[in-house]
Amino acid sequence: MELRTRVNSAMKQAMRDKATMRLSTLRLVNAAIKDKDIAARSEGGDDGVPDSEVLAILGKMVKQRQESARTYEEGGRVDLAERELAEIEVIEEFLPRKLSDKDVEKAVNDAMSEVGADSIRDMGRVMAVLKSKYTGQMDFGAVGPMVKQRLSA
């Protein structure tokens, strides 16, 4: 089932269950997807954004909430931090499982051999392959330095 459909059916179920926090989070997710759809339409796309783009949106939402939770904890607002963490749990239901460190290493090696990367100039191509295949499954902020280090050596 495509992600957009899964989000909509989860939102309907949350309405039936009267799960207000879950419902509000799912509405935020749905709004973010629709915003991206509208932006894509204005650029000439007729359909909605693909699932890979939806995964990127969800990943960005998780990252934003992690930063907010950290900020709230530092400011002594544990109640707001807990709300952000609860939203993260809801959003992560729609993300594929995270790859283990071993799997990330294998994916990086596969991507490097796929593009024939041998210098730092190939880093963009390697990252593009990883993003196309593993969006939502790995933290590209951590993978980037790993790729850079391997290509520099």
Q: How many structural domains is the chain composed of?
A: 2
Residue 100: its pLDDT value, please? 83
Same domain, 120 and 50: no
What would the pLDDT profile of 40-55 be if each residue is shown by its tens digit? 888 776 677 888 788 8
Are residue 86 and residue 109 in the same domain, yes or no? no
Domain that holds residue 143: 101-152
Distance from C-alpha of 57 to C-alpha of 88, rounded to nearest angstrom: 13
Q: Would the pTM of this model clear 0.95, i.e. be above it?
A: no
Both 56 and 108 in one domain: the answer is no
What are the structure tokens assigned to 55, written together? 């995964």
If one counts every other C-beta atom within 10 angstroms of the C-beta of residue 114, the result is 13
- Give the chain's radius of gyration (CA, Å): 18
Q: What is the mean pLDDT of the chain?
A: 88
